Structure 1
Amino acid sequence: MLLVDSHCHLDGLDYHSLHKDVDDVLAKAAARDVNFFLAVATTLPGYRSMRERVGERHNVVFSCGVHPLNQDEEYDVEALRRLAAEEGVVALGETGLDYFYTPETKARQQASFINHIRIGRELNKPVIIHTRDARADTLAILGEENVTDCGGVLHCFTEDKETAGKLLDLGLYISFSGIVTFRNAGQLREAARYVPLDRLLVETDSPYLAPVPHRGKENQPAMVRDVAEFLAELKGVAVAELAQITTENFARLFHIDASRLCSAR
């Protein structure tokens, strides 16, 4: 069985007391059949430092982007375009809109979101989308900017079944994190039952949002196994089947040769 952590922040883990290094993190994941990883950036300097820390690995690919909560200062859009075109980068992001924490940067967030989608379309690389308290604007921009041309995923999905339907209509994938295991996540579980298997991804968003039974601890890529097991039960399929389908979905969305994923085991 092969599981993919489709969204983790490998630069954000505790390398002082919990993990010796990136090799240690990936070995712990491999022990639970998690063997391929998408390491996601939230700033351009963070992308550079993350690549330096992780190095070139057969089983790790990268995204490059500026998170909507990191819009206090403008960034160089040409630098984003240049870095996103680098080998090993399979996606733009994470990008999107977050009006919960920083509504005062709405206009800058929207402009940045549009830039990411346009560069994604230029480079034929999908976008990784974050949204919080910004459902209507997120859907509007995705439609207006023809995100279907490059594709993408709404990561760490926390919206409802109706929103899931609109995203699916745009050709997007939907990724579930440990939040789906939380006790108060009934609406989210309803959405997870609704999303077809062939549009589903699993992720940790580590080091955040550790799934049950690890709540309160640092999340790490190994714990995507817990998310997959929970979703498999929710969907009424074997975990091995869910692993195979979500791995195939990942390869299709991010244009990764299936043989590369298979050899990561």
Structure 2
Amino acid sequence: MRLIDAHIHLDHYTDQDAAGIIENSPFIDALISVSWDLHSCKKNFELSQRYNKVKPAFGFHPEQELPSPLQVELLLVWIAEHHKDMAAVGEIGLPYYLREQQKVTKRQYDEYLHILEMFIKSAKQWDKPVVLHAVYEDAPIVCELLEKHSVKKAHFHWFKGDKKTITRMIHNGYYISVTPDVVYEEEIQQLVHAYPLEQIMVETDGPWPFEGPFHGRMTHPAMMEESLKIIAKLKDIPVEVVAKTVLDTTKLFYQID
């Protein structure tokens, strides 16, 4: 199978492991390496300069402490200078898990929301897709922002949410990607069953570790083969057809030759 990892944090691997993934995976056509902050953006940019397979996305991951206004400004200025070198704006979104842990106040949440809107507006200006961390009750809020700014090319990675939001996302033409947990998580299997195949991609979110048959193993794009097999089973479509459809979808979405 030819594969594209639609969401991976290559800069979070050791240099040796990242090089091994890139250099020793001839079946991988591309890796969308998303960023965490300015330092992460710069590292992903360097990886993309070294390896043609690495397609960087530049952004600010929301599951971390709020940046200062100066940090946000420096990040946006740097991304503006390098926007022609990126595949997308990402990873961006809202801090669902920090809020669940009661580590984010209402005022702080509003600040995260403001930062997210700045990134969405910038993506619209640069005509770039957005890679989103937006799950459960955060997802409708993000949908509202995307609709407000007429951003169509939206990729909700490792999505979880209610049926109403799923229907809204499908109608709006938004894409999702699923991780290897589709092999053993019923919630993700139900999502795949509901979502059109033409709007599904696969990812690892590596180096995030997985359970089930992947327990104790370093997260590797090769795991996506098992994801595709499960998607094929859930959709009752030959795996070869699923693999080609997902590959073509990802190439088109991220403008990969």
Shorter chain as normaliser: what TM range?
Answer: 0.7 to 0.9
1:263 corresponds in structure 2 to none
Listed as ranges, the gaps of 5+ residues in structure 1 are 261-265
- Report if aligned partners of 1:201, 1:249 keep a CA contact under 8 Å in 2: yes
Q: 1:80-123: CA deviations, max 9, x gaps?
A: 25425444301001111123214333112101111111111001
Instruction: State the secondary structure of the residue aligned to 2:87.
Output: strand
Match of 1:222 in 2: 222
Aligned-pair Cα RMSD in Å: 2.1
Q: Between 101-110 and 119-128, report the one with greater CA deviation.
A: 101-110
- For 1:36 and 1:170, the matched residues in 2 are separated by 26
* Identical aligned residues as a percent: 23
- Could you tell me which residue of structure 1 aligns to residue 201 of structure 2? 201
Aligned residues: 247
The one-character-per-residue Cα deviations of 1:162-186 (angstroms, maximum 9, x if unpaired) are 322211222211111122222xx32
Cα 1:96–1:77 shift into 2, 3 Å: same
Alignment of 1:158-197 (within 5 A): 158-182=160-184, 185-197=185-197
CA distance in 2, matches of 1:178, 1:43: 25
**1:54 CA drift (Å):** 5.2
Alignment partner, residue 145 of structure 1: 149
Deviation at 1:142, TM superposition (A): 2.4
**Partner deviation per Cα, 1:46-71 (whole Å, 9 max, x = no partner):** 11023324533222211000011234
Q: TM-score, normalised by structure 1?
A: 0.84
Corresponding position of 1:61: 55
State the match for 2:109 in structure 1: 106
- Is the 2:8–2:207 contact (alpha carbons within 8 Å) kept by the matching residues of 1? yes
Determine if contact 1:5/1:203 at 8 Å carries over to the other structure.
yes
Three-state SS of the structure 2 residue aligned to 1:61 is strand
Pick 1 or 2: higher relative contact order, CA cutoff 8 A, min separation 6: 1
Are the aligned partners of 2:132 and 2:155 in contact in 1 as well (CA < 8 Å)? yes
Please list, as runs of the form range in 1=range in 2, the aligned pairs for 1:45-124 lying within 5 A after superposition. Answer: 45-53=39-47, 55-74=49-68, 75-77=71-73, 79-84=75-80, 85-102=82-99, 103-104=104-105, 105-124=108-127
Q: Distance in 2 between matches of 1:58 and 1:135?
A: 33
For the structure 1 residues 179 and 163, does the alpha-carbon distance in structure 2 shift closer, same or farther, using more than 3 Å as the test? Answer: farther
2:158 aligned partner = 156
**Residue 238 and residue 26 in structure 1: after superposition, are their counterparts in 2 closer, same or farther (change >3 A)?**
farther
Indicate the structure with greater helix content. 2
